[in-house]
Structures are given as structure tokens and as C-alpha cells.
Chain A
Amino acid sequence: MRNELRERREAAGLSQADLGGAVDVTRQTINAIERDRYDPSLELAFKLAAFFDCEVEALFDPDIDVTPLEDDTNT
């Protein structure tokens, strides 16, 4: 899953260890996410989004192709 974690972290002037400490994971976990080698849990994804004060979708791009359920609530 592509993500903008590295860009946002570097823009904030943080090290991987700093970011890991902020969301209670290791530096290695942040590194694995930044290198697209690990997709974080929902909880961690929301923590990261909350830390950077953005939506989860702004941080992670799941690159999925799903047809949304049609909105038939008005029919």
C-alpha cells in the first residue's frame, strides 16, 4: 500500500524513531511502512493520521478497485 509517511515525517523534521515513539511503535516498524514492506493495522493507520492531523486516505493509498455499493436509500 503506497503511503506518504516518509514525506510527511521529513517535512515535519522528525526521525523514524521520533515518529515511532509518538505512535508507540519501533523505528523499524516506521521504516517498514515507509518502504511499503508492511501495511499497518487500522489502529496504527489512524494513529499516524491523527498525529499528522490528516485523513487516513491522505496518508495511505490502498490502490483498490471496488465498485461502491449504490446509494438506494432514497428509492
Chain B
Amino acid sequence: MTQPVQAGRRYRRLVFGVVAVGLVSLFVGAQVGQYLAGLVVYGLAAVSAFAVYAYVTVRDDLAVQDEWEATLERRASHLTMQLFGYGGVFAIVALYVLDAAGRPSVGPTVETLSSTFAVVWLTWAAVYLWLRYRP
């Protein structure tokens, strides 16, 4: 049985705090020439956050968020996908058009970003289809 949401919220804050520390470490490490150290801290933070989340939700069966917070996260994810979707399509098409027009702008980085973009949207489509047609 799920326990009251207030009990799980402190774990939610802990997870967010750990992830924030990891991200700051990665950024600071890159800025001061200690990229590897920052990456290690980031990795440890990510694994720790996942472990705490899994422990809380699976073992303790605690709700770490209520319906409003879940709705906010869904809307944030939706808006982020829209932002990257519309912005990304426009940017990538523009870069390829420029490239075709004789202004080389499609290098390996752009090609990698295009592939990543396509993979993200294919994954989104697969998840959508699964959600829609699952038995």
C-alpha cells in the first residue's frame, strides 16, 4: 500500500539535490580542466539518485510525488519535446539547406545531432504506439 505522499517528498528532494550536485560538478569540472573528475562525480550522483529512487518506490512503496507534481512533469516533458521538435527540425533542415547551397555547415557534429534527433523521435513514436495499443 502506498504511504502518504508527504513521507516520500523528502526523498524526491534528496534525489533532485544529488542530481543537481552531479550536474554542477560536471560543469565546474569542465570549467577548471578537471573534466574526468567532474564526470566521475556526475556518474556517482546519477547512480546514487537512481538507487534512492528505486529503493523508495519499489522497496518502501512510497509515492515521491502527488498528482499535481506528476502533471507538471508531464507538461514539462511535453513542452521540452515540442521545443526540441519544432526547433530541431527547423535548425537541421536549415543547416542542410545551407550546406546544399554551398555554405558547408553539416559536419560530423551536426550529423551526430541529426541522428540523435531521429532516434529520440523514433523512440517517442515507439513509446506512443505501445501506450496506445498495449493490451
Contacts and interface: CB of A to CB of B under 8 A. Distances in A.
A26 B7 CA distance: 10
B interface bracket (residues with beta carbon within 8 Å of A): under 10
A29 B68 CA distance: 6
A25 B66 contact: yes
Contacts of A41: 67
B4 A26 contact: no
Interface in A10-69: 20-21, 24-26, 28-29, 32-33, 38, 40-41, 44
B6 A21 contact: yes
Interface residues of A, number: 13
Interface in B62-97: 66-69, 71
B5 A26 contact: yes
B9 to A, nearest CB: 7
17 contacts: A21-B6, A24-B4, A24-B66, A25-B5, A25-B67, A25-B68, A26-B6, A26-B66, A26-B68, A26-B69, A28-B68, A29-B66, A29-B67, A29-B68, A33-B68, A38-B68, A40-B67
